[in-house]
Amino acid sequence: MHEVTLALPDEVYTELQARAARAGMSLELLIVTQLTAETTAAEKNALEQRLVQEALDASGLLQSVSADLIASYVLEPAAPRRSPVQVPGKPLSAVIIEQRGVLR
């Protein structure tokens, strides 16, 4: 286990003390709990993003843009561009609007 010393602005310290009191725990425990939750959430989010990217790559529906391609677009504005690919079905914007209606 490691020890860390924090310098907090007065208003932040006061708010954290109040939250700790409402939760019935010490200020130190509240801070450790919050940091642990944030770290766990960030790791989970990164894993979920990686799994989604892998699924999209495997499906062939979405292709990652290579760093070389990005560099060529930035460094060579006159470089030939690819034409957009026509995809059958509804535009993504229409699908999003329909799904938002269902969520309301």
Residue range 14-25: mean pLDDT, rounded: 95
For residues 1 and 76, what is the distance between their CA atoms, to the nearest angstrom? 51
Q: Report yes or no on 38 lying in a domain.
A: yes
* C-alpha distances in Å from residue 82, one per residue of 20, 56, 58, 78: 57, 21, 22, 12
Q: What's the structural domain count of the chain?
A: 1
Q: Report yes or no on 96 lying in a domain.
A: no
Q: Report yes or no on 72 lying in a domain.
A: yes
pTM over cut 0.75: no
Residue range 42-64: mean pLDDT, rounded: 84
Res 103: pLDDT: 64
Tell me the torsion sign for CA atoms 29, 35, 37, 40.
Answer: negative
Of residues 69 and 15, more confidently modeled: 15
- What domain range includes position 12? 1-80
pLDDT band at residue 104 using 50, 70 and 90 as cut-offs: low
Q: Report yes or no on 8 lying in a domain.
A: yes
Q: Report yes or no on 30 lying in a domain.
A: yes
CA 54 to chain centre: 16
Residue range 18-44: mean pLDDT, rounded: 92
Q: Report yes or no on 56 lying in a domain.
A: yes
CB 64 within 8 A of CB 50: no
